[in-house]
Chains A and B, each alone.
Chain A
Amino acid sequence: MKFDILAYIGRFTLKRVQVLGQSGVFLLVAFYQAFLPPFRIRRLLKEIEFIGSKSFLIVFVTGLFTGLVLGLQGYHTLTQFGAEALLGSAVALSIIRELGPVLCALMVTGRAGSAIASQIGIMKITDQFPALEMMAIDPVKYVISPKILAGIISLPLLTAVFDVVGIMGGYLVGVKLLGVNEGAYFGKMVTSVTFTDIYGGILKSLSFGLLIAWISSFMGFTADPTTEGVSAATTNAVVITSLSILIVDYILTSLLL
């Protein structure tokens, strides 16, 4: 009985390590293929449109309301110490360092990550990958590589949108609604936000973009070729990507600070 449990743990661990290795090789191959000719600019633009521009609205709204609520919460906390002049830097720092990259990535995971996984899974069920193979087209290069590049390109841009909209949201509530001094709001922001904060945010969003495209594609690509398989892959893509984003965020923050 005792050994059954040991054997189970062993099998479980081996399986996980194997999947981890597979996904690593998968990423390397997709990345390597992306830089081999022929370059498919049109495919890349299409993926950027799908992952990036189509997430614009959802990121905009999330950013706006995050900023609004930060302004509100920040103001009520800071007035207790008579420090409402610091509202600008509080809002800007929390958004640029943490909330921008993380919330933006989580929203894109929900919208684009799930779609990537199910799209690739359905392509797999319907034999579209062997069909590409038979036309002498590498399926990883054609389908996966553009998605990975598009993820890396789109996320920093979306995060920048999120940051700006969030800061403006804080401005609307803090300055226009609650009467914080406009000069203080932006003045404190300029003095307290350093370039390290901005680079850190960009670095985070780059990594999250990679994570979203990589994990979602891998889940779809390795899905069981059944309807259950694809739905499980879609769920797993969202859950695993979201958790990885939070974990990687902690690791990156601890390295950056």
Chain B
Amino acid sequence: MIRVENLVKKYGRLVVSNGLNCRFEEGKITVILGGSGSGKSTLLRQLTGLERSDSGCVYFDGVDLTCASKKKLYEKRKKMGMLFQGSALFNYLNIFENIAFPLREHTRIAENVIKTIVTMKLEMVGLRGTENLMPSQLSGGMTKRVGLARAIVMDPKVIFYDEPTSGLDPISTGVIDKLIKDLNTKLNITSVVVSHDIESCFRIADKIIILFSGDIIAQGTVEEIKNSKDLRVKQFINGEPEGPIPFTRTDKNYLDELLTG
């Protein structure tokens, strides 16, 4: 479904994508794991064409998004749904209008049909009855579910999730995980999840890609990752503070820096 080839992205001298190669299979859930600053969110933004890459290609459904025209990109975007980290609901519209928004913009569906579709999507995320509330009246977990309902309202082929469970309590995390899994199995939607939540990742993933400072250090099934011999992978999935992945950011020697003042 999505194929990434030699993708490179730099911010000044900081390399955030260092020649990445990976595939996101149709109908599968692929989780991109990595610590903060590992370049996983930037990868997601490049996969969706929100950010231009410096070089390399992202093939989405056969079209290279890195050099596609705006028209072509927008055409492909209609097949994508995205759940943002902060849900990105429109704060001036109520829940119903938020979910109906893409339908109103891109289709000429009659009002009663829109109502039916929105009700169905809200039922899928278990929030029927909240239609007239404003986004600010919902909890974090609930706004994520509304965001998800909005992401699937156009029946996309692929859904991108940007840290869907960060900042949620364990039950909400479980609910979101189940929703991601359900959407994948029931509607055969390809899912790309960016996360640093190891437990939830092991629950839902068909394939895991682990990023570390702009490089893919491992990719494979849950079992393959769990049994990985790579010390960095082990450190990451066990959450150990000491290991090959450094805690500090600077390359300077601590003692040197203290002594030279």
Interface residues, chain A, CB within 8 Å of chain B?
122, 126-128, 130-131, 133-138
CA distance A127 to B85 in the complex (A): 9
Bound-complex Cα distance A130 to B77 (A): 12
Residues of A within 8 A of B48 (CB): 134
Give the docked Cα–Cα distance between A138 and B50 (Å): 12
On chain B, the number of residues with a Cβ less than 8 Å from chain A's Cβ atoms is 23
Q: Specify the chain B residue showing the minimal Cβ separation from A129.
A: B88
- CB contacts under 8 Å to A, within B103-137, are 105-106
Task: Tell which of B78, B80, B86, B101 touches A127, judged by Cβ atoms closer than 8 Å.
Answer: B86
Q: Are B77 and A128 in contact (CB under 8 A)?
A: no
* Contacting residue for B82 out of A126, A128, A131, A138, CB 8 A: A131
Residue of A nearest to B50 (CB): A130
A127 touches B88 (CB 8 A): yes
Chain A residue contacts of B84, Cβ below 8 A: 127, 130-131
The answer to whether B102 and A130 touch across the interface, beta carbons within 8 angstroms, is: no
What is the interface of chain B, defined by CB distance below 8 A to chain A? 45, 48, 50, 70, 74-75, 77-78, 80-82, 84-86, 88-91, 101-102, 105-106, 154
User: Considering only CB atoms, which chain A residue lies closest to B48 in the complex?
Assistant: A134
Q: Which residues of B contact A131 (CB under 8 A)?
A: 82, 84, 88, 90
Closest-by-CB residue of A relative to B162 is A127
> How far, in Å, is A47 (CB) from chain B's closest CB?
12
Nearest Cβ on chain A to B155's Cβ, whole angstroms: 13
Q: Judging by beta carbons under 8 Å apart, are A130 and B88 in contact?
A: yes
Question: Top 6 nearest A-B pairs by Cβ distance?
Answer: A131-B88, A127-B88, A136-B74, A136-B77, A134-B82, A127-B84
- Kindly list chain A residues whose C-beta atoms are within 8 Å of the C-beta of B86: 126-127
Find out whether the CB atom of B91 lies under 8 angstroms from the CB atom of A122. Answer: yes
Task: Establish whether residues A135 and B101, one from each chain, have CB atoms under 8 Å apart when the complex forms.
Answer: yes
Whether B85 contacts A135 by the Cβ 8 Å rule is no
Give the chain A neighbours of B78 by CB distance below 8 A: 136
Cβ B77 vs Cβ A133 within 8 A: yes
Whether B105 contacts A135 by the Cβ 8 Å rule is yes
Give Cα A126 to B143, complex, Å: 13
Which listed residue (A126, A130, A133, A135) contacts B91, Cβ 8 A?
Answer: A126
Nearest chain B CB to A216's CB is how many angstroms away?
17
Bound CA–CA A127/B90 (angstroms):
9
The residue from A122, A126, A135 contacting B77, defined by CB atoms under 8 A apart? A135
Q: Once bound together, how far apart are the Cα atoms of A127 and B48, in whole Å?
A: 14
Contacts of A130 in B (CB 8 A): 45, 50, 82, 84, 88
Identify which of A122, A130, A131 gathers the most chain B CB atoms within 10 Å of its CB.
Answer: A131
Asked whether A136 lies within 8 Å of B88 as measured between CB atoms, the reply is no
State the Cβ distance, A238 to closest chain B Cβ, in Å.
Answer: 21
- Is the CB–CB distance between B50 and A128 below 8 Å? no
Residues of chain A contacted by B85 (CB below 8 angstroms): 127
Set of chain A residues within 8 Å of B106, measured between Cβ atoms = 135-136
Distance of B252 from chain A, by nearest CB (Å) = 27
CB of A128 within 8 A of CB of B105, answer: no
Q: Are B82 and A137 in contact (CB under 8 A)?
A: no
Q: Are A134 and B90 in contact, CB atoms less than 8 angstroms apart?
A: no
- Which residues of A lie under 8 Å from residue B80 when comparing CB positions? 134
Query: Looking across the interface, which residue of chain B has its beta carbon closest to that of A46?
Result: B92
| Interface residue from B70, B75, B88, B101 paired with A126 (Cβ < 8 Å) | B88
Q: Which of B75, B89, B91 contacts A136 (CB 8 A)?
A: B75
State in angstroms the CA–CA spacing of A131 and B45 once bound together: 12
23 contacts between A and B (CB under 8 A): A122-B91, A126-B86, A126-B91, A127-B84, A127-B88, A128-B88, A128-B89, A128-B91, A130-B84, A130-B88, A131-B82, A131-B88, A133-B50, A134-B48, A134-B50, A134-B82, A135-B77, A135-B102, A135-B105, A135-B106, A136-B74, A136-B77, A137-B105
Query: Could you tell me the distance between the alpha carbons of A134 and B102 in the complex, rounded to whole angstroms?
Result: 10
CB-based contact B75/A128 at 8 Å: no
A117 to chain B, nearest CB (A): 15
A128: chain B residues within 8 A (beta carbon): 88-91
